[in-house]
Amino acid sequence: MQGMKRLATGLLLAAWLPAAMAQTADVDALKQEGRKIAKQFLGTLKPELKKAMQAGGPVHAIEVCHKKAPEITARLSAQTGWQLKRTSLKVRNPHNAPDAWEKQVLKRFERLKAKGADPKTLEYGAVVEENGRRVFRYAKAIPTGKVCVVCHGEHVAAPIMKAIRAYYPEDAATGFRPGDIRGMFSFKKPL
């Protein structure tokens, strides 16, 4: 009897192990894809903001960010088949407020940073069920850079705050310092 139990357990493990390894490989491939999209997103938005800063300073950059970020999000979503979003525990635009999963991941990133992790390296990916469907969710932290504090820092100049309030009356995305976690990319892909 003992031999039969061992055989049954061995057969179950033999059947389960390749599937578990395949799922891990799939998650790794999906994370890699998410990383690539985040890099593409940032690589598209950053030059737009830099150009705007040079052309008209931070006030002009706020207008460009307000218009261009949603356009970039929509274009990359259409190109990749992923649902793209940027979110934070302190959002500028209330439409970007984090859902429960995103809040949990953002708090996890904050705990890891508090333990010494570099925000540039923080990412998380998982297969979850949403509305009865399997979805891969990917998150990558967005660290606050030195230039970011001009509009997101502890001491934002009055003309800049006025422009922020004009576009984002419910803004809560200030008070950051370089190295803080400004927010994260949050991407979804149906499986």
Look at the chain and count its residues: 191
Would you state the pLDDT for residue 184?
98
Amino acid at 2: Q
Contact call for residues 101 and 138 (beta carbons, < 8 A): no
| More confident of the two residues 20 and 88 | 88
Read off the tokens for 23.
Answer: 């799922």
Q: Kindly report, residue by residue over 2-13, the tens digit of the pLDDT.
A: 555 554 444 444
Q: Give bridge partners of residue 181 from the DSSP assignment.
A: 143
Q: Give one DSSP letter per residue of 82-111, joined into a string.
A: -EEEEE-SS-SSGGG---HHHHHHHHHHHH
Mean per-residue pLDDT, 69-81? 95
